[in-house]
């Protein structure tokens, strides 16, 4: 079994786990970045151990994306592929901090302490993190197009999703006050990223 098989499974596993984690967050009404800090504090207090339960799955998503990106790097030579791989590594590292900040906010809220600073830090960092997804999409899409590895629609999905995520990331400083008017753009970009990863995973499995 070549490395492209576990890489493809890593990409598909990442998307599956990411959907599960987000469903848990939504069902528990956990706050998303950009929510008002007061509302976020109340939501974390009311959530109990849901944040801990969902976060048990998160390290596996980082493992999945890293193996997936390494698989693409193994079949897509050149600097653009390295750019895409760097984007994935930066995304994983940054989101680890975002995830840890959620626990900081939750702990402060349950102790009755102020959460505005931590929550603002988390929200802006979450927004900036979208830039690294955009870098991953751009790098791997260009490399995939040059090598003829991806279908045309897959390449263009990567370009469009990267552009949407870049726009949303650029507006991240304006999310700190609890308003995020560009959230739909970021969500569309993330859904495009997830679809792109699924298509990439299938392509790797078939390689």
| Cα–Cα distance measured from residue 183 to residue 77, given in angstroms and rounded to the nearest whole number | 34
Question: What crossing angle do the helices spanning 4-27 and 58-75 adopt, rounded to 10°?
Answer: 150
pLDDT in tens, 64-103: 999 999 999 999 989 999 999 999 999 999 999 999 998 9
The residue segments making up the domain with residue 97 are 4-206
Quote the tokens at residue 197: 């990863």
Given a cut of 70, whether residue 186 has pLDDT beyond it is yes
Given a cut of 80, whether residue 171 has pLDDT beyond it is yes
Given a cut of 70, whether residue 178 has pLDDT beyond it is no
- For the chain, the domain total comes to 1
Q: What is the mean pLDDT of residues 99-119?
A: 87
Q: Check residue 153 and give its pLDDT.
A: 97
Given a cut of 70, whether residue 168 has pLDDT beyond it is yes
| Cα–Cα distance measured from residue 5 to residue 62, given in angstroms and rounded to the nearest whole number | 17
Report angle CA 13, 143, 7 to the nearest 5 degrees. Answer: 20
Nearest to 160 by CA among 127, 124, 133: 133
Give the pLDDT band of residue 176 (cuts 50, 70, 90).
low
Quote the tokens at residue 96: 């680890």
Q: How far is the CA of 148 from the CAs of 75, 152, 169, 204, in angstroms? A: 11, 9, 29, 13
Q: Check residue 180 and give its pLDDT.
A: 64
pTM (global) more than 0.75: yes
pLDDT in tens, 22-77: 999 888 888 877 777 888 888 888 887 888 888 999 999 999 999 999 999 999 98
Question: What crossing angle do the helices spanning 116-147 and 152-170 adopt, rounded to 10°?
Answer: 150
Q: What is the 3-state secondary structure (H, E, C) of 88-118?
A: HHHHHHHHHHHHHHHHHHHHHHHCCCCCHHH
Question: Exposed, middle or buried by CB within 10 Å (0-12, 13-18, 19+), for 23?
Answer: exposed
Nearest to 14 by CA among 56, 70, 58: 58
**Mean of pLDDT over the chain:** 91
Q: Check residue 41 and give its pLDDT.
A: 85
């Amino acid at each position: 079994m070549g490395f492209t098989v576990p890489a493809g499974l890593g990409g598909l596993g990442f998307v599956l786990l990411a959907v599960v984690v987000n469903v848990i967050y939504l069902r528990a009404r956990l706050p998303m970045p950009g929510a008002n800090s007061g509302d976020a504090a109340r939501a974390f207090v009311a959530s109990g151990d849901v944040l801990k339960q969902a976060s048990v799955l998160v390290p596996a998503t980082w493992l999945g994306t890293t193996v997936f990106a390494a698989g693409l790097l193994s079949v897509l030579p050149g600097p653009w592929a390295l750019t895409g791989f760097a984007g994935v590594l930066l995304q994983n590292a940054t989101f680890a901090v975002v995830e840890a900040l959620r626990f900081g906010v939750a702990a402060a809220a349950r102790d009755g302490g102020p959460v505005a600073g931590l929550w603002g830090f988390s929200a802006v960092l979450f927004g900036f993190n979208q830039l690294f997804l955009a870098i991953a999409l751009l790098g791997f899409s260009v490399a995939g197009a040059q090598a003829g590895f991806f279908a045309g629609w897959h390449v263009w999905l990567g370009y469009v999703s990267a552009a949407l995520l870049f726009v949303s990331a650029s507006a991240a400083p304006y999310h700190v006050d609890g308003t995020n008017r560009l959230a739909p753009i970021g969500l569309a970009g993330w859904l495009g990223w997830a679809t792109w990863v699924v298509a990439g995973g299938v392509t790797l499995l078939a390689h």
